[in-house]
Structure 1
Amino acid sequence: MTTHHDKVNQQFGQQANAYLTSKVHAQGADLEYLASFLTNYPNAEFLDMGCGAGHVSFIAAKQVKHVTAYDLSEQMLAVVEQTADERNLKNITTVQGYAEHQPFDDNYFDIVVSRYSAHHWQDVGKSLRELHRITKPNGKLIIMDVVSPGQPVLDIWLQTIEALRDTSHVRDYTPGEWLTFLSEAGFTIDKIQRHRLPLIFDSWIKRMRTPNNLVDAIRIYQISASQDTKSYFELQSDGSFTSDMMIIETQKVI
């Protein structure tokens, strides 16, 4: 029987190198923010939670003492190891595992960052409680992810095209849902930033190798959207659109 974790591993293992070269993942205001933020933490033990192809890890490795790149996909971790070696980044260690079951000691990491990973987690609440457990008192957790605008019509549209494109997608949560999840896990909110994330349809689809029949379904669904929906997501004639993403900076105070 195929589990959700099997589906995530299958979906992303096949596209590991595509994520390394993806402009959406390799650049952005969130990575610029992270590079600036980490200048104050040269001695940090750092966790890249759901590291994917390692873009966060590579930035952090130049700033902090040690980086643990953690992901479900063996193929993604192999890409991280190879790229780190090519870039002579010797302070990155890769570890395979689930978000819901962290193999690390209590109070181990100074900084934990998750970028474009949490919308695939099977159980966000359990995952955040685990991240709280392994973060040091006064340590930082930073979530960077696509978020839903919350309004029901817009929310349904976003979740539908995401799920059609990627069968491992669980949910793009609203900002309000994130604040609740994080507070319930024991984190306090320090700072929130909102950005708009343009997505080029062709590369967005190819990155996940979405089957043609599902690509067709996405385009039909896009074309049938209301004008308000098309305006909010800045939907283009070629299917490209713009999503919301947030950077949520939190702290473990206990």
Structure 2
Amino acid sequence: MGYDKQQATEEFIRWSESYDRCILQWLLFGPSHRALISRIRERFGDRPIRVLDAGCGTGQFGEKILKALPNAQVFGMDLVAEMLRGGARRWSSHRDTLMPVQGDSEHLPFADGSFDVVTCANSFHHYPDQQRAVTEMHRVLKPGGRLMLVDGFRDAPWGWFIYDVCVESIEGNVHHCSRSRMRDLFANAGFVETNQKVHRGPAPFLLTEGTARTASTLGRPHFKVSTPGVRQHSRA
């Protein structure tokens, strides 16, 4: 039986009350958030940028982006209203720079070319139609913008045991992409200059970064692989 959005919604409603206190905040979310912020800073420095954080949960990562990059404006989007309500204090304390949006990553409620960066941290395995989600993320990026996507790295034996055995036994038939499958998703969506980096540790993760296609990047090679040690928003 395939994993669907109803299952995802029910799971995250249950998780919303304990999300900010769960052990994954230390084990996986914290390290992956630091890696993403480091990449955003390397690419964009301190200049003003608009960021969409897809699958934002209670907005913890969005708040971290603002602390590290004070010239950023962040839209945190999640499918589940209960998750967004769990970050109510966070949203209200950053009213003009951190904005919650309830929406679906497979049907992003934003106009084409709205963002400099789209991030997706540790939620991608819950998306039933992963190709459509990546294609939508490409659509809402400005030409030359960046998608930075983190999910569990399941290609090595330890990662396979964690994500394909342990996580699936708890969360159901979710799907952590292999490194090669993730590259294919990015290429099919139109991304170029795709980079990948494996971060080792107790909960290994893969950071895949792609550049949104522009007229000047047509025909360029796609890949460079590195593997070291709650508001509604309508399309304009």
Which of the five TM-score ranges fits, normalised by the shorter chain?
Answer: 0.7 to 0.9
Residue 89 of structure 2 is aligned to residue 82 of structure 1 = yes
Identity %: 24
Work out the CA distance in 2 between the residues paired with 1:17 and 1:119.
21
Partner in structure 2 of residue 251 of structure 1: 211
**5 Å matches for 1:1-254?**
4-25=4-25, 28-39=30-41, 40-62=45-67, 63=69, 64-85=71-92, 88-90=93-95, 91-149=97-155, 155=160, 158-167=163-172, 169-198=173-202, 243-254=203-214
Q: Mean alpha-carbon deviation: is it higher for 136-145 or for 7-16?
A: 7-16
- Deviation, 1:178, is 0.5
Give the counterpart letter for 1:80 in structure 2: G
Once the two structures are superposed, residues 152-178 of structure 1 have per-residue CA deviations (whole angstroms, 9 ceiling, x without a partner) of x985884243222013x4211110110
Once the two structures are superposed, residues 37-61 of structure 1 have per-residue CA deviations (whole angstroms, 9 ceiling, x without a partner) of 3441531111000112222211122
Give the counterpart letter for 2:32 in structure 1: D
Q: List alignment gaps of at least 5 residues for structure 1.
A: 199-242
Work out the CA distance in 2 between the residues paired with 1:248 and 1:150.
17
Which structure shows the higher helix fraction? 1
- Deviation, 1:81, is 2.7
Checking the alignment, whether the CA contact within 8 Å between 2:152 and 2:163 is kept in structure 1 is: no
TM-score (norm 1): 0.72
Checking the alignment, whether the CA contact within 8 Å between 2:107 and 2:136 is kept in structure 1 is: yes
Work out the CA distance in 2 between the residues paired with 1:41 and 1:102.
26
Change (3 A) 1:147 1:77: same
Change (3 A) 1:252 1:154: closer
Checking the alignment, whether the CA contact within 8 Å between 1:179 and 1:189 is kept in structure 2 is: no
Checking the alignment, whether the CA contact within 8 Å between 1:72 and 1:96 is kept in structure 2 is: yes
Checking the alignment, whether the CA contact within 8 Å between 1:149 and 1:174 is kept in structure 2 is: yes
Once the two structures are superposed, residues 223-252 of structure 1 have per-residue CA deviations (whole angstroms, 9 ceiling, x without a partner) of xxxxxxxxxxxxxxxxxxxx4311112111
Q: Mean alpha-carbon deviation: is it higher for 11-20 or for 97-106?
A: 11-20
Change (3 A) 1:187 1:73: same
Q: CA RMSD in A?
A: 2.4
SS in 2 for 1:17: coil
SS in 2 for 1:14: helix
Change (3 A) 1:133 1:148: same
Larger radius of gyration: 1
TM-score (norm 2): 0.77
Checking the alignment, whether the CA contact within 8 Å between 1:189 and 1:248 is kept in structure 2 is: no
SS in 2 for 1:122: coil
Work out the CA distance in 1 between the residues paired with 2:209 and 2:179.
13
Once the two structures are superposed, residues 194-235 of structure 1 have per-residue CA deviations (whole angstroms, 9 ceiling, x without a partner) of 12342xxxxxxxxxxxxxxxxxxxxxxxxxxxxxxxxxxxxx
